[in-house]
Amino acid sequence: MFFTYLRRELRRRRKAALVVASGLALGIALVIIVSSVSSGMSKAQDKVLESLYGLGTDMTVTKAAAAPGSSTQRPRFEFDAKGDDSEQSSDRVMVQGFQTLSSTTVDKVGKQSGVADAVGGLSLNVLKVDGQFKRGEFKQNGNAGATGQRGPGGEGGTTQPQGEVQGGGASFDVNSYTVYGTDVTKQDLGPLTSSKITKGRTFKATETDAEVAVVDASYAKQKKLAVGKTVTVSGTKYKIVGVSTADSGDAAANLYIPLKQAQTLADAKNKVTTVYVKAADSQQIDSVKSAIQKNISGTTVTTSADLADTVSGSLSTASDLATSVGKWLSIAVLVAAFLVAGLLTSSAVSRRVREFGTLKALGWKSGRVTRQVVGEALVNGLMGGVLGIAVGLAGAYVVTAISPTLTAQLGGSGGGGGMAGGPGGMGGPARQAASKSLDIALTAPVSLSTILIAVALAVAGGLIAGAFGGWRASRLRPADALRRVE
């Protein structure tokens, strides 16, 4: 009887049911779209951060920033003096940021409570100068042979030909590229994890001091490098065993070599620039950070959340809008949809006074009438949920299909020591990133949890609307109802 009456009443009041369902659908669809876009923003920011320090890294430990005014190294280039014209080439290998930590710091960090794993890396910047010195040529004047001048001593002096030195000089080209020394025994942590090996292979655990290298795909294309070829860094030839492609499109370094080889190139034995840390529990990152800062002096600990604060540009602006304006807008629309559904249901009950009065006169109790009204409202809510989920999925699909490009400016604040010494430039990402930007394509992934939330909202909307109508129906008295005429 319940379902028969329910089906008949919904069919008889199709327009009213459609209005209630459409209002709920609008609010639910907006919640789905905002949630999916916010999820896409979060993934985009994660991709930006992973391009700096790699997948799975929760924080980095670097040497504390040097005091203002302290002296830093300056690159010096020395060339052999040769009597004839010849090409000259010189490499200057420098530790990025000019600040290093002892390799023992990696072990100290790894022993801290809450640390699941820690690995060290050495980030280098190589300045390569190539060019040629060209000797000038002495050219005599046309009449120099006839009017040569006597040298000192009068007639007995030698004749000085008249003329000038022409041509000569020097022409040099300066190139800069980054090299990252990675611990080949722990390749599941650090910047290289943000790239995929697309050609060749990655390092073997036994190649701790081997002259092998993995080159970034963009750099390999620019310099025409390939697997099997060699690349020379400061006089040492490294065989390219693999080509990596960064997930975000911007790699942490141009070239990756074993950590010991990097330490040898930079004359930085047993030194690292960055310690990459993975926490045992993502909920305890702040406490792990505090423990490291307290127990290991002279270091700066930067978490992924700290680095996220340095991300600016259209990605940051859009993310702020999605999390603030979008969230409150969706809540406001949802609340309005619930109120409208409740008021429309209550109004519909008022127009059905005679009907409900007759049912009560026939023996229906108030509880049964209330359940009937709530059932109708719940079905309207579920219909609105199905419609809202469909519209929300369509909206998320459109955003993903259009895939608007957002720009992320890294380290716009030029923060103190954040990620100092890490890949990406002089002084690490947070210092060099002011001139580094990434273009990220926005997607709007819809998760199962978002769908479940939408279903819950649909049920809640139906129950709220049913509560309005049920309360109104429960107050009806058969005698009063029968005196009214629709």
Question: Do 230 and 279 share a structural domain?
Answer: yes
Question: Does some domain include residue 74?
Answer: no
Q: From the centroid of its chain, how far is CA 115?
A: 23
User: For 112-153, how does the pLDDT look when each residue is reduced to its tens digit (9 = 90+)?
Assistant: 998 999 999 999 988 877 666 566 566 666 554 545 555 555
- What does the DSSP 8-state code read for residue 57? -
Task: List 134's β-bridge partners, or say none.
Answer: 169
Question: Do 414 and 451 share a structural domain?
Answer: yes
Angle at 96 between CA 95 and CA 97, to 5 degrees: 110
Of the pLDDT bands very low, low, confident and very high (cuts 50, 70, 90), residue 483 is low
- Residue matched to tokens 């960090």: 109
Q: What is the pLDDT of residue 119?
A: 92
**Residue type (1 letter), 150:** R
Number of domains in the chain: 2
More confident residue, 427 or 90: 90
Question: Does some domain include residue 73?
Answer: no
Q: What is the pLDDT of residue 30?
A: 82
More confident residue, 351 or 228: 228
429/420 Cα distance (integer angstroms): 7
357 touches 480 (CB < 8 A): yes
Question: Do 121 and 44 share a structural domain?
Answer: no
272 touches 299 (CB < 8 A): no
- What does the DSSP 8-state code read for residue 55? T
Residue 248: CB partners within 8 Å, gap ≥ 6?
Answer: 47, 48, 50, 51, 194, 438, 440
Domain that holds residue 366: 2-53+315-483
279 touches 305 (CB < 8 A): no
Q: Answer whether residue 84 shows pLDDT above 60.
A: no
Question: Do 345 and 292 share a structural domain?
Answer: no
**Rounded average pLDDT over 196-223:** 92
Question: Does some domain include residue 413?
Answer: yes
User: For 296-319, how does the pLDDT look when each residue is reduced to its tens digit (9 = 90+)?
Assistant: 988 888 886 776 665 555 455 555
Question: Do 326 and 225 share a structural domain?
Answer: no
Q: Give SS3 for 87.
A: strand
Question: Does some domain include residue 148?
Answer: no
Question: Does some domain include residue 284?
Answer: yes
Strand pairing category for 299-303 and 59-63: antiparallel
Q: Which two tokens stand for residue 139?
A: 């050219």
Question: Do 393 and 273 share a structural domain?
Answer: no
221/147 Cα distance (integer angstroms): 61
**Rounded average pLDDT over 29-36:** 83
81/77 Cα distance (integer angstroms): 13
Q: Answer whether residue 258 shows pLDDT above 60.
A: yes
Q: Give SS3 for 3.
A: helix
400 touches 443 (CB < 8 A): yes
Question: Does some domain include residue 476?
Answer: yes
Q: What is the pLDDT of residue 424?
A: 40
Last residue of a domain, one of 297, 327, 346: 297
Q: Answer whether residue 257 shows pLDDT above 90.
A: yes
Question: Does some domain include residue 143?
Answer: no
Q: From the centroid of its chain, how far is CA 296?
A: 29
Q: What is the pLDDT of residue 118?
A: 92
Question: Do 108 and 238 share a structural domain?
Answer: yes
More confident residue, 117 or 190: 117
Question: Do 108 and 19 share a structural domain?
Answer: no
Last residue of a domain, one of 263, 297, 331: 297
Question: Do 98 and 182 share a structural domain?
Answer: yes
User: For 87-111, how does the pLDDT look when each residue is reduced to its tens digit (9 = 90+)?
Assistant: 666 678 888 777 889 999 999 999 9
User: For 378-396, how does the pLDDT look when each residue is reduced to its tens digit (9 = 90+)?
Assistant: 887 888 888 888 998 998 8
Question: Do 375 and 236 share a structural domain?
Answer: no
| Nearest-10 Cα torsion for 469, 471, 477, 483 | -30
Q: Which of 266, 206, 203, 207 is closest to 215 using CA atoms?
A: 203
The C-alpha R_g of the chain, in whole angstroms, comes to 37
Q: Which two tokens stand for residue 36?
A: 């999916």
Question: Does some domain include residue 270?
Answer: yes
Last residue of a domain, one of 297, 326, 359: 297
Which sign, positive or negative, has the C-alpha torsion 418, 423, 428, 432? negative
27/260 Cα distance (integer angstroms): 58
Q: Which two tokens stand for residue 298?
A: 């002279």
